[in-house]
Amino acid sequence: MTEGHDVNDRARQLVEAAAQLFEAGVMSHSGHANLSARLDADRFLLTPGFVRGLRPEQLATVGLDGQLLAGELRSVSAEIITMHSLVYRARPEVGAIIHTHSPSATAFAVAHRPLPCRTEPMLRFGQPEEVPVVPWGPRGSDVSVRGIAKVLEERATTSAVLLANHGLLVFGPDSAATAHLVVAIEESAEAEIAAAAIGGAVDFPEGALAAVRASIARVSA
């Protein structure tokens, strides 16, 4: 496969993942999100500052050092480059990153409440542990970026973080899997909030999370 084909495939997959988020109803009213997909050790594709009606040729190519290599970014997107590149640097296995303001997940972020893993989709689709909260800092600021880096270090196996007073950041092997996990997390957050009205969500039986984590580790080994 030539490099051109590979880039086109990843761009197409990323645009499909963005459309999937709208279809699944996990976007906030504003439709705000940014998505990226790794191209290689040094570069990734990034949405240009909007995702609604996005076409593959509108994606920008950005270096892990923060340099814009091809395409155009709206100025708001320049601020989020660091948020994406730091995850790619910290997690070499990560192939795609999605940031949204999904309403129920954002409720947890606003309440500074970690989201426990208490639903089957979250357990199965890549987050068999709670989603931790990263302390607030202005978007793209040193405080925010250092906060994310610290939580990624402390929680070596988490595939998502809640950005306090802001939203959700999810990462996975590719665009499709990452979009699935965004949906699973939003669904879980919604179920947690609904369950609170009828007595509260209940944990999985003891050992369930550990067993699933172990089987995931076996499959990916």
Closer to Zn ion by Cβ: residue 147 or 167:
167
Q: Please tell me the count of residues contacting Zn ion according to CB under 5 A.
A: 1
Looking at residue 120, the DSSP 8-state letter turns out to be H
- The β-bridge partners of 45 are 37, 61
Q: How far is the CB of 5 from Zn ion (least distance, A)?
A: 32
Closer to Zn ion by Cβ: residue 49 or 167:
167
Backbone φ, ψ for residue 158 (5° rounding): -70, 145
Which residue's Cβ has the minimum distance to Zn ion?
167
Site for Zn ion in 158-217 (CB under 5 A): 167
**Which residues lie closer than 8 Å to 54 by C-beta, 6 or more apart?**
15, 18, 19, 47, 48
Distance between CA atoms of residues 209 and 192, nearest Å: 17
Looking at residue 57, the DSSP 8-state letter turns out to be G
Closer to Zn ion by Cβ: residue 167 or 172:
167
Q: How far is the CB of 169 from Zn ion (least distance, A)?
A: 9
Closer to Zn ion by Cβ: residue 25 or 138:
138
Q: How far is the CB of 49 from Zn ion (least distance, A)?
A: 12
Distance between CA atoms of residues 195 and 138, nearest Å: 32
Q: How far is the CB of 34 from Zn ion (least distance, A)?
A: 7
Q: How far is the CB of 77 from Zn ion (least distance, A)?
A: 11
- The β-bridge partners of 98 are 35, 170
Distance between CA atoms of residues 172 and 97, nearest Å: 7
Closer to Zn ion by Cβ: residue 35 or 122:
35
Closest CA to 105 of 120, 115, 94: 115
147 near Zn ion, judged by CB under 5 A: no
Binding site for Zn ion (CB under 5 A): 167
